[in-house]
Amino acid sequence: MTEPVLPEDMRVSDVERGRVQDALRRAHDIGQLDLGEFDERVRSVWAARTRGELERVTADLPALPPEPGRRTVFSDTGGGVAMRVLTIIWSCLSVLSLSIWALFAVNAGSSLWLLWLALPPGLVLLVLYLAGIGRPRRS
């Protein structure tokens, strides 16, 4: 029976090396590493064969601040999904109406009936959004 492999002796993949390189890039970007240190450590990352070797490359760095996440417009709750669907429907109706209005404007002169179709639902969606319905919670 063979001995189990210790976690620090496990082989690493290019994906894991890439994650450590990204962490080093962020450490360089916020001033924790100068360019020479960054270059030296990246070389070590790509030469590393085990998780222990990868961990030693970043062991002396303080924890990096979390990456800024993508800001969402609507939450993943039921209200957010409803707002997303309503916004898509409103956008589709507005584009369709604008297209029809443009065809009539070219052929028969100008009219403002587009405002009656697009503006009221748009204002309703804006009010619902400003009221917090479907918006992500602030942490």
User: What is the average per-residue pLDDT within 17-31?
Assistant: 91
92-111: pLDDT as tens digits: 888 777 777 766 766 665 56
Token pair of 82 as six digits: 């409803």
Which residues is 50 bridged to in the sheet? 11
Using the Cα atoms of residue 83, residue 85, residue 90 and residue 91 in order, give the sign of their dihedral: positive
pTM comes to: 0.49
With residue 96 as reference, give the H or E element that holds it: helix 78-108
How far is residue 87's CA from residue 100's CA, in Å, rounded to a whole number?
20
Type of residue at 26? R
